């Protein structure tokens, strides 16, 4: 049993900041073939998953990330049926995707099976859709899977990755985005978590540049709160083959036949608004290209 006054702290050293949660006990600790995975029981946020020292998800606030990584892109595409999730081993994004009755198949490819097995044990609410007949779980290299995917075989690709370090570094390159573009059909959309706009703006702008280099016609970032992540403010960046990303199926979003805790049509519209410092950075990027 840990000291009752113990805390888990993730330090964002370049920004002189940190985020802490008071923990009751450590539930699990292992080094998988790919990364160091820890699970803690916290006082106020339920269970907490930590990978390589970085907070990944908590029971209390994971809905923010999982809903915003899935529903905006799904309601932007005119008729998404074939979905691929790269990463996402905790299965929360898969659960949200399969709330959409029009989705016919959802393939999740995560290199580390241990993340899913630990989610089954410590976050059972996230894996509730794993037995859905439309779901297919693969434990292999997502970059290679996309490289080998049939051209035009997907409507939506969700890159639910960790930070661009370790196994995830290959998911932030123009080569990877080019393979995604080839795998997407007409009106296809790619969405990827793009870090904190406050702490990681260079990563965000580099993603826009790499997506455009890969041949995507339009890119756009949406923003949402995420308390356990550095700065508490997160983003996801969308790329489309041939359509606007600032309009979506508003009436379908308003009449969605499933429950959410954060996402709705108004949140979707608001999340598309660009903070001035981000707008200026992206305008400078466009001017230089």
What residues are labeled active site?
160
Alpha-carbon gap, residue 191 to 199, rounded angstroms:
20
Alpha-carbon gap, residue 233 to 236, rounded angstroms:
11
In sequence order, what are the residues at sequence separation of 6 or more whose Cβ sits closer than 8 angstroms to the Cβ of residue 9? 18, 19, 20
What count of other Cβ atoms lies within 10 Å of the Cβ of residue 46? 18
Strands 7-12 and 17-31, by their bridges, are antiparallel
The Cα diameter of the chain in Å comes to 56
Alpha-carbon gap, residue 289 to 284, rounded angstroms:
9
DSSP 13: G
What count of other Cβ atoms lies within 10 Å of the Cβ of residue 287? 7
Residue 80 and residue 155 in contact, taking contact as beta carbons nearer than 8 Å: yes
Alpha-carbon gap, residue 232 to 225, rounded angstroms:
6
Scanning the structure block, which residue is given the tokens 């990563």? 203
Alpha-carbon gap, residue 144 to 170, rounded angstroms:
10
């Amino acid at each position: 049993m840990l000291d009752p006054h113990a805390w888990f702290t993730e330090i964002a050293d370049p920004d002189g900041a940190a985020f802490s949660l008071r923990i009751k006990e450590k539930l699990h600790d292992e080094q998988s073939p790919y990364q160091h995975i820890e699970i803690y029981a916290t006082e106020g946020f339920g269970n907490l998953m930590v990978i390589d020292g970085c907070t990944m998800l908590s029971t209390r606030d994971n809905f923010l990330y999982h809903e915003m990584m899935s529903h905006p892109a799904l309601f932007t595409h005119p008729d998404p049926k074939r979905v691929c999730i790269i990463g996402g081993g905790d299965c929360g994004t898969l659960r949200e995707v399969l709330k959409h009755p029009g989705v016919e198949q959802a393939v999740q490819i995560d290199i580390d099976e241990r993340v899913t097995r630990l989610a089954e044990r410590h976050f059972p609410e996230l894996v509730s859709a794993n037995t859905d007949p439309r779901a297919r779980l693969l434990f292999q290299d997502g970059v290679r899977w996309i490289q080998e995917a049939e051209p035009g075989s997907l409507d939506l690709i969700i890159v639910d990755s960790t930070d661009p370090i370790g196994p995830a570094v290959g998911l932030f390159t123009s080569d990877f985005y080019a393979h995604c573009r080839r795998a997407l059909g007409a009106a296809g959309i790619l969405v990827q978590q793009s870090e904190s706009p406050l702490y990681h703006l260079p990563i965000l702008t580099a993603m826009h540049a790499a997506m455009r280099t890969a041949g995507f016609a339009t890119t756009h970032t949406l923003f949402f709160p995420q308390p356990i992540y550095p700065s508490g403010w997160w983003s996801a960046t969308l790329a489309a083959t041939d359509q606007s990303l600032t309009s979506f199926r508003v009436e379908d979003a308003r009449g969605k036949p499933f429950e959410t805790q954060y996402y709705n049509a108004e949140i979707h519209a608001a999340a598309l608004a660009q903070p001035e410092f981000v707008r200026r950075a992206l305008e400078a990027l466009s001017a230089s290209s």
